[in-house]
Amino acid sequence: MIRTLDLDNLQQALAGTPLQDWAADLPAQLDAKLAVGHGDLERWGAAVNALPALVPQQIDLARRFFLDGACDEATRDALKSALQGLIPWRKGPFELFGVHVDTEWRSDWKWERVAPHLDLRGRRVLDVGCGNGYYQWRMLGAGADSVVGIDPNWLFFCQFLAMKRFLPDLPAWHLPLALEELPAKLEGFDTVFSMGVLYHRRSPIDHLFELKDCLRRGGELVLETLVVEGDAQQVLVPEDRYAQMRNVWFLPSVPALELWLRRAGFVDVRCVDVSYTSVEEQRSTEWMRYQSLPEFLDPADHSRTIEGLPAPARAVLIARKP
Ligand SMILES: Nc1ncnc2c1ncn2[C@@H]1O[C@H](C[S@+](CC[C@H]([NH3+])C(=O)[O-])CC(=O)[O-])[C@@H](O)[C@H]1O
């Protein structure tokens, strides 16, 4: 499976950049990771390998994730059943040759809140906690030069490989790595995204420093995370679960998050969006059959989680490394 990581092309894309040495070391690091792997990796790899060989004649990544081209009914059934082998699908939606992968999240809605505030044309991008890579494809659709995603989840890695099958020549790479597994002081990306990751970190300010270390001087950070209302000293730390999630640590107010970013050395810090997540944006579907946001909110009062905490609101902040 390592060959499907397409590391040769990644090395070529990063040749002559500050990321060149890192790219050269990746095959050995990833070989070691893949040797340990995950119990279900073989099954998910088989689902990826079962995807029919289809060549998209129509590609739209700018307005949605949409691929289409010649595909008969039997091939479409084979495509659907291979993609079903990678359930649960959380981030999307994906439209592939007439198959609509209706994911748990309307990630396209989040992208519509983020994208208008950025100019990704010609930029070398890192997406930290990229999930299945949905946003990586949309970043290419917005003109990014190359997009590297990192995420330690093996299922999401396989979901990315499924899409890459149909778009083998596009400059998007997904590495099954956690942020902590990147070398210190990479300082080579023009734009770094961290969306939906900060509240999972026990040391959120260290997370900001780690993101800053991935950026070149003058590079831009795009940070999206759960927030609460309040002033610059307001932060919620849940006693236990938050909207049924176990590993949620810090939910700052927007002014607190802006302060954290400034303390971490970012400049031009600005919040460009705050939105409550609706039960239309995150819900169970045929492609993600577990419980979802509608079950995680207080049934009598959707402004509260079932734990009695403020319902999920997410902010998008942009900041620059001086
Ligand atoms: N140490 C880590 N390093 C890198 N990734 C990690 C780490 N720990 C967890 N993750 C990954 O971070 C992602 C968080 S989801 C956001 C997905 C996308 N960005 C989104 O904005 O929809 C949360 C949400 O649903 O919002 C998961 O894919 C984890 O595997």
3-class DSSP string for the chain: CHHHHCHHHHHHHHCCCCCHHHHHHHHHHHHHHHHHCCCCHHHHHHHHHCCCCCCCCEEECCCCCEEECCCCHHHHHHHHHHHHCCCCCCCCCEEECCEEECCCECHHHHHHHHHHHCCCCCCEEEEECCCCCHHHHHHHHCCCCEEEEECCCHHHHHHHHHHHHHCCCCCEEEECCCHHHCCCCCCCEEEEEEECCHHHCCCHHHHHHHHHHHEEEEEEEEEEEEEECCCCCCEECCCCCECCECCCCCEEEHHHHHHHHHHCCCEEEEEEEEEECCCCCECCECCECCCCHHHHEECCEEEEECCCCECCEEEEEEEECC
Q: What is the 217 CA–ligand 1 centroid distance (Å)?
A: 25
- In this predicted structure, what is the pLDDT of residue 182? 97
Task: Evaluate: CB of 114 within 6 angstroms of ligand 1.
Answer: no
Q: What is the 129 CA–ligand 1 centroid distance (Å)?
A: 4
Residue of 109, 139, 151, 195 to mutate, ligand 1, most atoms within 8 A of C-beta? 151
What's the rounded Cα separation, in Å, for the pair 134 and 164?
11
- In this predicted structure, what is the pLDDT of residue 3? 59
Average pLDDT of the segment spanning 13-17: 97
- In this predicted structure, what is the pLDDT of residue 2? 55
> Which amino acid, 203?
S
- Cα–Cα distances in Å, from 265 out to 176, 205, 221, 259? 28, 11, 12, 10
- Cα–Cα distances in Å, from 187 out to 11, 19, 182, 273? 16, 8, 11, 27
Evaluate whether 212 touches 186 at the Cβ level (below 8 Å): no
Residue of 197, 214, 246 to mutate, ligand 1, most atoms within 8 A of C-beta? 197
For residue 84, pLDDT over 60 is answered with yes
What's the rounded Cα separation, in Å, for the pair 311 and 228?
9
- In this predicted structure, what is the pLDDT of residue 241? 97
ipTM reported for the complex, 2 dp: 0.99
Task: Evaluate: CB of 178 within 6 angstroms of ligand 1.
Answer: yes
Q: What is the 213 CA–ligand 1 centroid distance (Å)?
A: 19
**Protein residue with least CA distance to atom 16, ligand 1:** 196
- In this predicted structure, what is the pLDDT of residue 37? 76
What's the rounded Cα separation, in Å, for the pair 38 and 61?
31
User: Which atom of ligand 1 is closest in space to residue 150's alpha carbon?
Assistant: 4
Average pLDDT of the chain to the nearest whole number: 96
Task: Evaluate: CB of 195 within 6 angstroms of ligand 1.
Answer: yes
The reply to whether 180 sits in an annotated binding site is yes
Listing from the earlier edge strand, what are the strands of the sheet with 313-320? 172-175, 146-150, 124-128, 189-195, 215-227, 313-320, 267-276
pLDDT > 70 in the chain, percent: 99
For residue 67, pLDDT over 90 is answered with yes
Per the document, the length of the chain is: 322
**pLDDT tens per residue across span 243-281:** 999 999 999 999 999 999 999 999 999 999 999 999 999
- For 247, phi then psi, to 5°, come to -100, 50
User: Which atom of ligand 1 is closest in space to residue 179's alpha carbon?
Assistant: 3
> Which amino acid, 61?
L
The reply to whether 110 sits in an annotated binding site is yes
Model confidence at 39, pLDDT cuts 50, 70, 90, reads confident
**pLDDT tens per residue across span 132-154:** 999 999 999 999 999 999 999 99
The reply to whether 307 sits in an annotated binding site is no
- In this predicted structure, what is the pLDDT of residue 4? 73
Evaluate whether 261 touches 204 at the Cβ level (below 8 Å): no
pLDDT > 90 in the chain, percent: 95
How are beta strands 297-298 and 189-195 bridged, if at all? unpaired
**pLDDT tens per residue across span 166-198:** 999 999 999 999 999 999 999 999 999 999 999
Other CB atoms within 10 Å distance of the CB of residue 2: 12
User: Which atom of ligand 1 is closest in space to residue 107's alpha carbon?
Assistant: 22
User: Which atom of ligand 1 is closest in space to residue 194's alpha carbon?
Assistant: 19
For residue 1, pLDDT over 80 is answered with no
User: Which atom of ligand 1 is closest in space to residue 131's alpha carbon?
Assistant: 28
**pLDDT tens per residue across span 195-237:** 999 999 999 999 999 999 999 999 999 999 999 999 999 999 9
Give all domains of the chain, ordered by start, each with its CATH number: 2-320 (3.40.50.150)
Q: What is the 322 CA–ligand 1 centroid distance (Å)?
A: 26
Model confidence at 34, pLDDT cuts 50, 70, 90, reads confident
247 Cβ neighbours under 8 A, 6+ residues apart: 200
Evaluate whether 255 touches 278 at the Cβ level (below 8 Å): no
For residue 38, pLDDT over 90 is answered with no
List the beta bridge partners of residue 245. 242
